[in-house]
Amino acid sequence: MSRGERGFTYVGLLALIVLIGLLLSAAGEVAATAARRDRETQLLWTGHEYRAAIGRYFSRRRAYPQTLDELLGSAPESTVQVRYLRQLYPDPMTNAADWVLLKAPGGGVMGVASSSKRAPLKTAKFDDVADRGFADAASYNEWEFTFVAGAHRRKLP
C-alpha cells in the first residue's frame, strides 16, 4: 500500500468516527427529550393527585390541610383513619420533595407547584379543564395544581 493510500484510509476512518459521534449525540438528545416528556407526564399525574387529595380533604373537613402530611391520615380525635393520599410524592422535575406550597386565602395549603424553573416542552392539549392555563406557562413552577373550594364541579375520585 502506498503512502497516499494510507493517508486516504486514515481520513476516511476519521470521517467515520465523526459521523458516529454525531449520530450518538443526536440519539442522546432524543433520549433526553423523551425522558423529560415522561417527567412532565409524571408531574401532571402527581399534581392531579395532590389537587384531588386536597379536594377530598376539604370536602370532608371544610378546611384546607395545614401541611401535606395531613393528607396521609386522619386527625387523632377520629377513630377511623382516612387517607387522602397514599404517599407524599416527590416533584418529578427535581426528583425531590421540594414542592412550592400554595397557600389558601384563609390559611392552609390549597395546592402545589413544581420548584423547577425550566421551560416546559408541553405547551398545548392539556386534558384537565383546570390545567388549561398551563399552555401559557414559561416554566414548570407556573403549573399550579390548586383546589379552589366551589370551583371544581366534577366529582372528585
Count of the separate structural domains present in the chain: 1
Is residue 116 in a domain?
A: yes
Q: pLDDT tens for residues 15-25?
A: 999 999 898 88
Write down the H helix ranges in the chain: 3-61
Is residue 61 in a domain?
A: yes
Range of the domain at 75: 3-146
Is residue 157 in a domain?
A: no
Is residue 156 in a domain?
A: no
Q: pLDDT tens for residues 25-75?
A: 888 888 888 999 999 999 999 999 999 999 999 999 899 999 999 999 865
Is residue 155 in a domain?
A: no
Is residue 79 in a domain?
A: yes
